[in-house]
Structure 1
Amino acid sequence: MPSRKAAFSGRDQLMAKLVLSPTILAATFFIYGFILWTIWLSLTRSTILPSNHFVGLANYYDLFGSSRWWRSLSNLGIFGGLYVLISVGIGLGLAILLDQRVKAERLYQVVFLYPMALSAVVTGVAWRWLLDPGFGIQAIVRSMGFPHFAFAWIDNPDMAIYTVVIAAVWQTTGFMMAIFLAGLRGVSPEIVKAAQIDGASTGRIYLRVILPSLAPTFFVALVLSVGLAIKSFGLIIALTGGGPGYSTNVPSIFMYVFSFQRGEMGVGAASALMMLVIMMIFVLPFLLLDSRRQA
């Protein structure tokens, strides 16, 4: 009997490897293969078409010598920081409120999650209409008898990036809420009951018992929100087009403009690799902390 079980176990493992092998090969080719290809393009004088003319680090010198690139990084810092903090904070707050088993909980979940069902382009267009000074929020409030009300951030180069924050938070806060609500519902009720027996208040239970146990949930929410912030392309294109000027440019838009509009694919590839590095800088510490926590 043991030898037969071992034989079946070996066959199961072989079958699992055979089934997974196409997926592993495809992931290796389409992810890591294209990363290597992008690295090569960033070291060549590629224009609108790839080239094998090796130029070393020249594209990186051009990239870091561009004021537009530094403005893109600055915008990403402003947008990404505010977006992650606000969406995660509001999402956590909504999840805690829904965790109180309120009436019509399912309805609230659908309402809060609905924006996530919309594409980034649809969200950008909708918020572009709302923020347009001619017929959006400003025009509506003025028609209500407040002629001096002004809300024209979308046309202001210093404030336009904050309109992107508003639209992005509106779209993904419900998604963050769903993540945290799933985490809250996974907390052991015995731990909560023990804290209640000890006389702890509801606020103290959340602060000292429940929230610390949500460390893996915070990890998932932060990694996803950072990824969404770095990849925010469609929303910004639909909302502001990267303007006024390039006041709402972020690295993803910089990459698109230089690769496909200006025909400097080498510089665009270099910016794409810098986006990957930025993502790794934010994600790797969380991965290390999570691995230490599980060890």
Structure 2
Amino acid sequence: MAQSANADLKTRLQNWIPKLVLSPSLAVILVFVYGFILFSVYLSFTDSRILPSYGWVGWENYSKLWRLSHWEISLTNMGIFALLYITLCTAIGLGLAIFLDQKIRGEGMLRPLYLYPMALSFIVTGTAWKWFLDPGIGLENVMHTWGWESFKFDWIKNRDYAIYTVVLAAVWQTSGFVMAMFLAGLRGIDNEILKAAQMDGASNWNLYRRIIIPQLRPAFLSAFVILSHLAIKTFDLVIALTGGGPGRATELPATFMYSYTFTRNQMGIGSASATIMLMAIAAIMVPYLYSELREKR
């Protein structure tokens, strides 16, 4: 009887100890992540300015937000950035994955080389690309030093092209990560299916177009969700690379939110923009998580 009671107590301890160990972390996450998210949503309906205020103004901040030309500029820049960023990262990542999947010599060296940029922070990437693209000290200056006086590459100083420098830096950093996702998908395809198709006379082009790429649908979906999330919340890369300039040529919703909350002292409008960004991310993540859970069931 005593042995049974001891065994029962031991089982309960084994069940409860992990919960007790994790409970402080979960409590901190609930308060400092989800709690402050809800607090920010609440502030978007108040007349908060330099400090939180609790005067209820309803949808007034959202109405003001959509009348601001700065917000429209940030959304336009986001559209350009997200479209190019997601498309180029997906195309380059898939191309690199297919290249490495050919069992080439030196794959063990190339794979970490492609993945290395993702190990850097966006601040480091933005600073490095800022130096590289600066006409005074970067690529343009080097070309002039080598005697190519007509060479000109001043996109980072040009209002019409500055947003594309952000795309270049972001694609450089993230393509290797997308490559790893696609490479894992390629290595998970059954070789017997590929051998059967080759025996039937399928060319490499048809092999990839009709068999391999369609089976990478989960990798495509995961890459789209992750890249969309990164695009919407991009902040530190822009701050380090262009500071949102020249003018407002590279301002994105995240930099808009920061400037209106902490520089212009319009916390209510800043919270409204943050809430809209949250809804945009949720619109992408919730259907994805729902489909994943449904497939597991």
Residue 111 of structure 2 is matched in structure 1 by 109
**Which amino acid letter does the alignment assign opposite residue 75 of structure 2?**
L
Give the TM-score normalised by structure 2. 0.89
Q: Deviations over 1:240-281 (max 9, x none)?
A: 000001110000000110111111111111000111122233
Distance (Å, rounded) in 2 between the aligned partners of 1:203 and 1:19: 53
Give the TM-score normalised by structure 1. 0.90
Among candidates 58, 79, 83, match of residue 85 of structure 2: 83
**Which amino acid letter does the alignment assign opposite residue 270 of structure 1?**
A
Among candidates 52, 62, 74, match of residue 72 of structure 1: 74
**Which amino acid letter does the alignment assign opposite residue 248 of structure 1?**
T
CA contact (8 A) 1:216 1:290 kept: no
**Which amino acid letter does the alignment assign opposite residue 76 of structure 1?**
M
Q: Deviations over 1:70-122 (max 9, x none)?
A: 10000000001100100111001000100011111011011111111111111
Residue 187 of structure 1 is matched in structure 2 by 189
Distance (Å, rounded) in 1 between the aligned partners of 2:229 and 2:296: 23
- Whether 1:262 aligns to 2:293 is no
**Which amino acid letter does the alignment assign opposite residue 44 of structure 1?**
T
Is there any run of 5+ residues in structure 2 with no aligned partner, and where? 1-7
Distance (Å, rounded) in 2 between the aligned partners of 1:29 and 1:189: 49
Count of matched residue pairs: 292
Distance (Å, rounded) in 1 between the aligned partners of 2:221 and 2:103: 25
CA contact (8 A) 1:160 1:244 kept: yes
Distance (Å, rounded) in 2 between the aligned partners of 1:21 and 1:135: 52
Residue 40 of structure 1 is matched in structure 2 by 42
Distance (Å, rounded) in 2 between the aligned partners of 1:214 and 1:21: 38
Distance (Å, rounded) in 1 between the aligned partners of 2:292 and 2:220: 11
In structure 2, do the counterparts of structure 1 residues 207 and 293 end up closer, same or farther at CA, with 3 Å as the change threshold? Answer: farther
Residue 150 of structure 1 is matched in structure 2 by 152
Identity across matched positions, percent: 51
- Whether 1:234 aligns to 2:219 is no
Distance (Å, rounded) in 2 between the aligned partners of 1:169 and 1:284: 25
Q: Residue 252 of structure 1: SS of its match in structure 2? A: helix
Distance (Å, rounded) in 2 between the aligned partners of 1:192 and 1:253: 47
Residue 3 of structure 1 is matched in structure 2 by none
**Which amino acid letter does the alignment assign opposite residue 44 of structure 2?**
S
Distance (Å, rounded) in 1 between the aligned partners of 2:19 and 2:147: 69
**Which amino acid letter does the alignment assign opposite residue 119 of structure 1?**
S
**Which amino acid letter does the alignment assign opposite residue 66 of structure 1?**
L
Distance (Å, rounded) in 2 between the aligned partners of 1:208 and 1:268: 47
- State the shift of 1:235 in Å: 0.7
**Which amino acid letter does the alignment assign opposite residue 91 of structure 1?**
G
Q: Residue 248 of structure 2: SS of its match in structure 1? A: coil
In structure 2, do the counterparts of structure 1 residues 71 and 105 end up closer, same or farther at CA, with 3 Å as the change threshold? Answer: same
Is there any run of 5+ residues in structure 1 with no aligned partner, and where? 1-6
- State the shift of 1:22 in Å: 4.9
**Which amino acid letter does the alignment assign opposite residue 247 of structure 2?**
G
Residue 96 of structure 1 is matched in structure 2 by 98
CA RMSD of aligned residues (A): 2.5
Distance (Å, rounded) in 1 between the aligned partners of 2:280 and 2:97: 29
Among candidates 139, 142, 147, match of residue 141 of structure 2: 139
Distance (Å, rounded) in 1 between the aligned partners of 2:200 and 2:84: 38
Residue 207 of structure 1 is matched in structure 2 by 209
**Which amino acid letter does the alignment assign opposite residue 42 of structure 1?**
S
In structure 2, do the counterparts of structure 1 residues 53 and 121 end up closer, same or farther at CA, with 3 Å as the change threshold? Answer: same
